[in-house]
Structure 1
Amino acid sequence: MTNKVLSEFLLHIGDSQLILSHRLAEWCGHAPELELDIALANIGLDLLGQARTALSLAGSIEGLGRDEDRLAYFRTEREYRNLLLCEQPNGDFAQTIVRQWLMDHYHALLFAALSNSNNAELSAFAIKSLKEVKYHQRFSTAWMERLSLGTQEAHDKVQHGLNQLWRFTEELFALTNDEKQLVEAGIIPDLTILPAKWLELIQSELTRFELQLPQEGAYRSGAKQGLHTEHLGYVLAELQYLQRSYPEMVW
């Protein structure tokens, strides 16, 4: 039972990184500046590497013979466990930066906590990922500051992006009843103590950026139950097209 729950937990992480990576890849050739084009692509590649590790571990632990490619390309929308925040459209550049900034702060706390896992593979994965996340966090924070404290138009677009995405943040550190077994076994920490710290960091930086915390409202959740927004299906249609058209193709 523990292996099945841990595999599902790793799918949640791996799927989130994979979908967010794909969203950032959509900026290739379309970013406002060449430097940003390269930066977003590099962050996307880091996330893709994290996704590969997490999905490989998940497949190995579940013991059903599914490797990272089979998990990525041959599961349906309802079988994906990624955070709803990751699948939201890029919108304009400001909204993409807001989404990345929210996720980077989440990743920083998540991987710092998972680095203390008594599972050696999970701990090693978290420690390596945390090094990459620190760069991502510097990048998104610098652009949040530059945009929000720049022109009025840029400030308004950042605020709009924050208002659009905030309703997807409630599920960031949620644990299922089954995952609480992993907490008791010391495999993962109790992530439910992290939202307060995450929110404190977010509120502090929003004050510095002269932005308003969106009012609490109709939050959306359902990642770990496979309940997604309408956007994920379109992402998977593009992501999985080649493998589904030419199954078992090798390069």
Structure 2
Amino acid sequence: MSFDDAYEALTDHDDDTRWAYGTGFSDPLAGVPTAVPDGVDPADLVAYCLMLGDDALVMSHRLQQWVTRAPELEDEMALANIGLDLLGQARLLLTRAGEVEGTGRDEDALAYLREPAAFRHVRLAERLDDDFAHLIARLLVFSTWRLALLDRLTTSRDPILAAIGAKGVKEATYHREYAAGWVVRLGDGTDVSHTRMRAAVDGVEPLAGELFEPHQVELRLAAAGVGVDPATLRTEYDDVLAEVHRVATLPPPPPLQEGTGGRDGVHGPELVEILTEMQELARANPGGVW
């Protein structure tokens, strides 16, 4: 299907009944083989796609909450675009999870009809930001880790994950650069901005420990050449964070703490707040379109 402009695609529902994500835009992964690689447990692949998809979905929602609240209009646009990039990644990953699962759940059902305990994102993604400095510190941590992960996914034996990785690397590179630029701008700015940036780093960085703690699903898929062992990302992450902190005249990043179980569905009240807002309309209008 093709359209002359974006508006026409958004307003056409003749052959697309999905509620929120359904539009007439072409599938960026059209033609990519979808068979589950040999030797891979489909249940593991579903769980892994949910992990990475939920990371992107929840982080995207948090970023969207900053539109109209950022320091400048340019930053509102930047954060909105980063959020849309992550939403696009979430769509692809949740669609892959639904297809492999084979129970009829599509991306909308997985995004809007799951309960909090069924989400598999890291707790860092759902954190509520105290101020703009906290958002930037969290985005730097998240994007540095995710860029390293997506880069390694480009060689995955699963063609879909490899394609998502190749597409995501370009996006995450900008996400990391944007966040790093603001950390330097605030850290090496005024006494007030330096103090607030330092407080943000101290509050956010310890939550990064979960990013590098391998889940059994991740280890099995890494051994099968499909997924990534997150522990292998730590050196690159440490090098990037150390350099950004140096340029920003900030102390070295504080030690990482143990994870909090997000990969196993352990979440806090912040996720309930996110899902209440994000899922309200879809649950009130099941099967509706826009």
Global fold match (TM > 0.5): yes
CA distance in 1, matches of 2:214, 2:101: 19
Q: Is the 8 A contact 2:205 2:256 kept in 1?
A: no
Normalised TM-score (structure 1): 0.95
Residue 223 of structure 1 pairs with residue 262 of structure 2: yes
Write the letter of the residue equivalent to 1:84: R
Q: Is the 8 A contact 1:243 1:249 kept in 2?
A: yes
Write the letter of the residue equivalent to 2:248: F
Q: Which residue of 1 aligns with 2:157?
A: 118
Out of 114, 118, 123, which is 1:75 matched to? 114
Residue 139 of structure 1 pairs with residue 178 of structure 2: yes
Question: Which stretches of structure 1, 4 residues or longer, exceed 3 Å deviation after superposition?
Answer: 213-220
| Alpha-carbon distance change, 100 to 178 in structure 1, aligned in 2, over 3 angstroms | closer
Out of 244, 248, 257, which is 1:209 matched to? 248
1:1-251 counterparts in 2 under 5 A?
2-216=41-255, 219-251=258-290
Output one character per residue of 1:70-115: Cα deviation in whole Å (capped at 9) or x when no partner: 0000001110011111111122111111111111101110001111
| Alpha-carbon distance change, 182 to 219 in structure 1, aligned in 2, over 3 angstroms | closer
CA distance in 1, matches of 2:107, 2:256: 37
Give the Å deviation of 1:4.
0.6
How many residues end up aligned between the 2 structures? 251
Secondary structure of 1:90's partner? coil
CA distance in 2, matches of 1:159, 1:234: 27
Give the Å deviation of 1:217.
6.9
Q: Is the 8 A contact 2:219 2:228 kept in 1?
A: no
CA distance in 2, matches of 1:228, 1:213: 28
Taking only aligned residues, the RMSD between alpha carbons, in angstroms, comes to 1.5
| Alpha-carbon distance change, 217 to 172 in structure 1, aligned in 2, over 3 angstroms | closer
Identical columns (%): 36
CA distance in 1, matches of 2:251, 2:45: 37
Q: Where in structure 2 are there 5+ consecutive unaligned residues?
A: 1-39
Write the letter of the residue equivalent to 1:198: Y
Q: Is the 8 A contact 1:30 1:37 kept in 2?
A: yes
Query: Which moves more between the two structures, 191-200 or 162-171?
Result: 191-200
CA distance in 1, matches of 2:258, 2:228: 24
Give the Å deviation of 1:134.
1.0
Give the Å deviation of 1:214.
5.0
Give the Å deviation of 1:173.
2.9
| Alpha-carbon distance change, 30 to 46 in structure 1, aligned in 2, over 3 angstroms | same
| Alpha-carbon distance change, 31 to 215 in structure 1, aligned in 2, over 3 angstroms | closer
Secondary structure of 1:178's partner? helix
Output one character per residue of 1:162-218: Cα deviation in whole Å (capped at 9) or x when no partner: 111122101113322233221221112333222133123212321221212354375
Output one character per residue of 1:133-181: Cα deviation in whole Å (capped at 9) or x when no partner: 1111111111111111011111111111111112210111332223322
Write the letter of the residue equivalent to 1:176: H
Q: Is the 8 A contact 1:7 1:61 kept in 2?
A: yes
| Alpha-carbon distance change, 180 to 219 in structure 1, aligned in 2, over 3 angstroms | closer
CA distance in 2, matches of 1:183, 1:217: 23
Normalised TM-score (structure 2): 0.83
